[in-house]
């Protein structure tokens, strides 16, 4: 759903799409530790997303490729004015600025910064560049837990509500996701 000149979003005018992003980091880049990289990424995202909200940070055991350090994960919610591909291009620029080099990395392996578009409004896409909703969203506690922390209560924001994602999380096996008591 796009929001166009709607008064219920206090201060948002024009056409904006609600988005949820998943962020993760498990390696240093230059002198920046994973928490520093997440902090910096939020600042960049704040330049393009309005009404930005972000979750706590969670330390999580790596999935898929397990021979790597634990990840620091979080979720971000906000409104974006543009297409999903425009947002993808922007977040890939943020990743590159923070040391991500897709040509030299192991798939699902260590990386200084990973930003995934989990939900882009109610858009469904199966383009070669972008699958929406994220195809592994429902199997990843490290995404679902922080996402549920900031998921909007407003039923009009996404077609699928918070209860659905809570049920997905409840049906997952233990994935060792631990909330950290640090603030960004």
Q: Which residues are tagged catalytic?
A: 100, 111, 114, 116
DSSP string, the chain: --EES-GGGTT--SEEEEEEEEEEE-S-BTTB-HHHHHHHHHHHHTTTEEEEEE---EEE---SS-SSPPEEEEEEEEEESS-HHHHHHHHHHHHHHTT--GGGSPTT---S-EEEEEEETT--EE-SS-EES-TTGGG-HHHHHHHHHH--S-TTS-SS-HHHHHHHHHTSPP--EEE-S---
């Amino acid at each position: 759903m796009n929001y166009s000149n709607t008064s219920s979003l206090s201060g948002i005018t024009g056409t904006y799409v609600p988005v949820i992003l998943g962020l993760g980091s498990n390696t240093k880049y230059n002198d920046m530790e994973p928490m520093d990289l997440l902090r910096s990424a939020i600042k960049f995202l704040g330049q393009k997303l309005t009404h930005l909200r972000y979750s706590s940070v969670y330390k999580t055991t790596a999935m898929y490729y397990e021979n790597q350090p634990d990840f620091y994960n979080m979720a971000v919610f906000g409104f974006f004015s543009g297409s999903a591909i425009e947002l993808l291009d922007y977040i890939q620029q943020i990743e590159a600025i923070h040391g991500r080099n897709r040509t030299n990395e192991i798939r699902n392996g260590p990386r200084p910064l990973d930003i995934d578009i989990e939900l882009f409004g109610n858009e469904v896409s199966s383009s070669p560049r972008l699958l929406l909703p994220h195809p592994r969203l429902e199997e990843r506690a490290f995404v679902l837990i922080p996402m549920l922390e900031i998921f909007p209560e407003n039923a009009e924001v996404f077609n699928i509500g918070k209860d659905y994602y809570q049920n997905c999380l409840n049906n997952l096996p233990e994935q060792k996701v631990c909330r950290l008591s640090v603030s960004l």
